[in-house]
A and B are shown apart, each in its own frame.
Chain A
Amino acid sequence: MTPIMPEELSALLDGELSTERARQVRSHLAADPSLADEFHRLSMQHSQWQDAARSARFAPAIRLPEVKVEFGWQFGALVGVLLVLRLGSKLISPPGTTMAIEAIALIALLIVVTAKGAHQAEGGA
């Protein structure tokens, strides 16, 4: 078995060793009382320091900028194309085809509104 490095006791305490290495270190601790005492001392100190440090925590109130949604020229152009398609379909196509084209245009419009085609800019907090 690989000898234990001193810092591996800290790492075991912090849960930062691999499962296999943690198992090996614990085996060493079980076989070596002085090492086990050192680990116990480290654990006690760790708990005390952890509790002390936690008393500094509090919940700060923070504000982040709002994200405004703006629509750029590309969106306007797409709407224009869809409207032209819709008008054109009414003029030249049978009713069934017109409905299909209108449905496709509406779905495409909904996709554009919710997807990356919208331009977004930051607003003030």
Chain B
Amino acid sequence: MRSSRRADAYARALRPLLGDAAGYARAILRSRHGAEDAIQQAALRGWERFDSYDETRPFKGWWFAIVRNCCIDMLRQAGRGAPQDWAGAGAFDQSSSEPEESGDWKALDDALLRLSDAHREVLRLKYFGALSYEEIAAALHIPRGTVMSRLHLARKALAAELEKEEP
């Protein structure tokens, strides 16, 4: 990055997204520690590529695509193999000192693991990442209309899964 002004612009754009990105990465990797690493990698990767960022596209969508790819890379490096493996495999390798993840979000994401990749992707970006339709479209490189219809069907699928769990 050649300009300190551009560097400041990148840091300013990134700062408000970190909490959402951390939650999103944590849901994928099932590890707070792993999520922190992924976010750090994504921040640096975005820094390197910011000069090529198209300002007509939403920044959050652009950067979350990078976050997603960093999470995939980390899972592959941990030996999770192809995307269908990481999508359904469960926890990222956690260090022995890190407590097992738990909480409402984990119960939600456990249900997401039983959905198709396409449905899980949009729901994670919507709920964990808090992305708009336009941002999800940019992150997944799909049309906004597809996001709208896919998200609706994903919600119905998730509701059906959660209903199965009810006593």
Give A residues with C-beta under 8 Å from B.
6-11, 14, 16, 41-42, 45-46, 49-65, 67, 69, 116, 120, 122
- Taking a contact as CB atoms under 8 Å apart, the answer to whether A10 and B148 are in contact is yes
Give B residues with C-beta under 8 Å from A.
1-4, 7, 10-11, 14, 18-24, 26-27, 32, 35-36, 39-40, 43-44, 47, 103-109, 123, 126-128, 132-133, 148-149, 151-153, 155, 158-159
- Taking a contact as CB atoms under 8 Å apart, the answer to whether B148 and A60 are in contact is no
Q: Which residues of B contact A8 (CB under 8 A)?
A: 148
Q: How far is the CB of B138 from chain A (nearest CB, A)?
A: 14
Complex Cα spacing A61 to B37, Å: 10
- Taking a contact as CB atoms under 8 Å apart, the answer to whether B39 and A62 are in contact is yes
Counting from the closest, the 8 A-B pairs by CB-CB distance are A56-B105, A7-B152, A56-B23, A53-B127, A52-B104, A57-B23, A10-B152, A52-B108
- Taking a contact as CB atoms under 8 Å apart, the answer to whether A63 and B22 are in contact is no
Q: A45-B155, A116-B3 in contact; A56/B47 too (CB < 8 A)?
A: no
- Taking a contact as CB atoms under 8 Å apart, the answer to whether B35 and A49 are in contact is no
Question: Can you list 9 A-B pairs with a CB-CB distance of less than 8 A?
Answer: A7-B151, A51-B104, A52-B107, A55-B105, A56-B26, A59-B19, A64-B47, A65-B47, A67-B7
Q: How far is the CB of B163 from chain A (nearest CB, A)?
A: 10
Complex Cα spacing A123 to B152, Å: 46
Q: With contacts A7-B153, A64-B44 known, what are 5 further pairs, Cβ within 8 A?
A: A10-B151, A55-B104, A56-B24, A59-B19, A65-B47
Complex Cα spacing A116 to B3, Å: 8
Complex Cα spacing A65 to B43, Å: 10
Complex Cα spacing A8 to B103, Å: 31
- Taking a contact as CB atoms under 8 Å apart, the answer to whether B43 and A62 are in contact is yes
Complex Cα spacing A9 to B23, Å: 26
- Taking a contact as CB atoms under 8 Å apart, the answer to whether A120 and B23 are in contact is no
Complex Cα spacing A54 to B26, Å: 11
Q: How far is the CB of B44 from chain A (nearest CB, A)?
A: 7
Complex Cα spacing A52 to B149, Å: 23
Q: How far is the CB of B155 from chain A (nearest CB, A)?
A: 6
Complex Cα spacing A103 to B132, Å: 53
- Taking a contact as CB atoms under 8 Å apart, the answer to whether A49 and B127 are in contact is yes
A58: contacting residue among B23, B132, B148, CB under 8 A: B23
Q: Which residues of A contact B27 (CB under 8 A)?
A: 53, 56
- Taking a contact as CB atoms under 8 Å apart, the answer to whether A16 and B132 are in contact is yes
Complex Cα spacing A14 to B154, Å: 14
- Taking a contact as CB atoms under 8 Å apart, the answer to whether B127 and A57 are in contact is no
Complex Cα spacing A65 to B44, Å: 8
Q: Which residues of A contact B148 (CB under 8 A)?
A: 7-8, 10-11, 16
